Amino acid sequence: MTTTLAPPRIRKLATGKYTGPLATLALFAVMFGGVLNRYDFASPTQVFLNLFVDNSYLIVLAVGMTFVILTGGIDLSVGSVVALSTVILAKTLQQGWPTSVAIITVMLVGPALGLVMGVMIERFDVQPFVATLAGMFLARGMCYVVSVDSLPIKDPAVRTLGLDYLYLYDDKFIRWPVVIALVVVVVALYVLHLTRFGRTVYAVGGNRQSAQLMGLDAAATRISVYVISGFCASLAGVLLAVQKLSGYSNNGIGLELDAIAAAVIGGVILAGGVGYVAGALIGVLVLGTIETFVTAANLDSYWTRIMTGALLLIFVLVQRVLVRPTS
């Protein structure tokens, strides 16, 4: 049973199927338009494209986090997995590993850790917060085992991937990590909305008991979303390493919170069962717009955190006011 703190007509409008992503899209349009109006950028189109260029790794991370949150879970390990992926990639390339072998090795790390955490959560009834917190400390500690120093990446293939421009028209460009991130978004959209697994993710997050009564494999689904989140974290680490052309143990500190914030701002409900990958993508663009504003205004970097925190608080409170579960 639920009680509402908002009038029924407002609640009906505000809890519509696409209201969350559309509200975030409107917010992004207002914020981005305001930034363009306030500051005289030479190329507004390139400023928009740079939101994707600068945040391609966060887009991938937010996609993985969306899968987890939709089941009612949380994954605090992803920032550390990103850092671990960057240092493993840099270290293996320095030791002369073929590029493809190094990347494949990195891409196995996140899913393996995700599988362990998923089994802990599902089979041993460990709270997701505790299990993924342990994963966070484990992955971060392994970073320092590999290297405490920043490791430059000089591999020609990786440098090409990170430095080459993909011109869309005239002088407007993106980079290859953006293409990879958008492919991940498209695949996630397909999986969540056009497959049995995706429908099971929503069902488990909405009401696990009902999902099990319908014959859905809730246990396997819950474990799988942590594997997916781990895969996305490893891929995000590769993209970050490609962007920075280095691996560093202190990469990704607080990045898990950015991914959660992007998902929530994009309309994904922390209780599970409600939300869209497209909303998380728009949430990343909102965070990118905040950072663009802080940079253009020449403000201290901590203002990015302050504004993100305020915006996140507003979205959580709005969700809470519109529909509040009660016993």
In order of start, what are the domains of the chain with their CATH numbers?
Answer: 2-325 (1.10.3470)
Return the axis-axis angle of helices 44-70 and 277-296, rounded to nearest 10°.
140
pLDDT at residue 318, as a whole number: 74
pLDDT at residue 170, as a whole number: 87
pLDDT at residue 154, as a whole number: 94
* φ, ψ of residue 282 in degrees (nearest 5): -65, -35
pLDDT at residue 299, as a whole number: 86
d(CA 118, CA 95): 32
pLDDT at residue 3, as a whole number: 43
d(CA 58, CA 192): 19
Q: What is the pLDDT along the chain (327 residues), one digit of tens a residue?
A: 344 444 554 444 445 567 778 888 998 999 999 999 998 888 999 999 999 999 999 999 999 999 999 999 999 999 999 999 999 999 999 999 999 999 999 999 999 999 999 999 999 999 999 999 999 999 999 999 999 999 999 999 999 999 999 999 888 999 999 999 999 999 999 999 999 999 999 999 999 999 998 999 999 999 999 999 999 999 999 999 999 999 999 999 999 999 999 999 999 998 899 999 999 999 999 999 999 999 988 888 888 889 989 988 888 787 666 544 443
d(CA 230, CA 283): 20
Q: Angle CA(116)–CA(82)–CA(176) in degrees, nearest 5?
A: 125
pLDDT at residue 322, as a whole number: 59
What pTM was computed for the model?
0.92
pLDDT at residue 230, as a whole number: 98
Q: Where are the alpha helices (DSSP H) in the chain?
A: 8-14, 19-38, 44-70, 78-94, 99-123, 128-146, 156-163, 176-194, 196-206, 208-213, 218-244, 255-265, 277-296, 302-322
- Joined together, the tokens standing for residue 261 give 């914030």
pLDDT at residue 195, as a whole number: 96
pLDDT at residue 175, as a whole number: 95
Q: Give the CA distances from residue 275 to residues 44, 112, 123, 323, in Å, rounded to whole numbers and listed in that order.
A: 30, 26, 26, 15
